[in-house]
Structure 1
Amino acid sequence: MKFSYIGALCVFMALIAAAQCLFTCNECWVIGGTECCNVKNTTCPLPGCMTMSEYCVVEDKHFRSIRKTCGNELCNLCLTVTTGLDFNVRVSTQCGKGDGSNANLNFTESCNNLTTNGLKCPRCYNGTSAEGCADNGTVACVGKEMQCADYAGVVQYSDGSVNYISYKGCIVTGGCLVGFLGLPGTKEIKRKTFNCTAATSTILNLPKLLNL
């Protein structure tokens, strides 16, 4: 009986410790909008809360979505794709620490204010085909875009429309690993190609420029 009592006490104390390690974050998910409604509380294992703001431009359409949830490895990043043509993606992730720390972290387009980083990638865009697209010059990379993406697949945008797309352009480092999981309002239906390679410098012919 003594050992059973001690065992039960240990289990009880462990449950209390586990409960004390849980944190609460605001939770909402609005596809095609920038303001949260029907905000709920969700329990998170880590003391971080996150708000994801998506701003996506496809041809002449602008798509915006917001999601509040538990914090993760995507905290405080700009997840971006730049083609310089008719397809560009900007996702800002903001995080705070402690209970309810994403309550006042609202929609932002801060990832639009990025400067070029001296790298470039081939670019192209085709909004009607998932069979790839031919290079149409190059595009200057911005922010932490240090890789070149080559994508072809079928996606659904926040307005519910399903589109066949192919693009090449700059992508934030690690973007191929995150894929469409980092977009709160866009869903990938089918993927044919998604490859990332290192971006190249915009100053490849420096000796020639200097007449050396």
Structure 2
Amino acid sequence: MDRRNVMVFSSLMFLAAAAFAQDALQAVKSKQLDQLQVAPGLSAYKKVLIDPSKAEVHPGWMRSMNDGLGGPKVKRADVDRIAKESAKGLDMFVAPAFKANGYEIVTAPGPGVMRIAASANEIYVNAPDTNQPGVMSATEDAGTARMRLVATDSVSGKPLARTEHKLTASGATGSPTRATNVSNRFWFGNAFERWAVNVAKELQAATPPAPKS
């Protein structure tokens, strides 16, 4: 890398760090989430506007599956289906989780309204069902996903909270069992629901640390 590129890279890193610092989010301890950052005044927000959830399959998943499968291969259509089903699954759980924790769900921006956007990223299904006769998939855990939620003031766009958590969609038996599209959706759905409940609880209870004197 030449000097000019180094200077450009350094400038970009500085701007990114400055932008992060300006959002005034403070890290707080969480028992349920890997990372939780909140802004002072978060507790004043009792209403939420929920954006449609987003989901993405791990970029290396299809290649990894196809390198390891001796039989039928997973296809791009499987990637698209998993992403679509995951986003739909998240949508089912986010609103009920926040409502159960005392938030009012609204449909338009306004004063005191927190806008939240949830996403499931790097989704990795351990044993995809290829729907081929005579081929059976089995796994102990359905897979993993990196979950994120970003909360902002619905009017100003000011950052209010950010969470990140890597979850495992675990089966109940603790031993390898047959995996199908239905069972994979079920176990990921269970994991998404637990995550949504944990996020809502943590945001509702979160208190930024007092400024250092």
TM range (shorter): under 0.3
Please, what TM-score do these two structures have when normalized by structure 1? Answer: 0.25
More strand by share: 1
TM-score, scaled to structure 2: 0.25
Structure of greater relative contact order (alpha carbons < 8 Å, 6+ residues apart): 2
Could you say which structure has the larger radius of gyration? 1
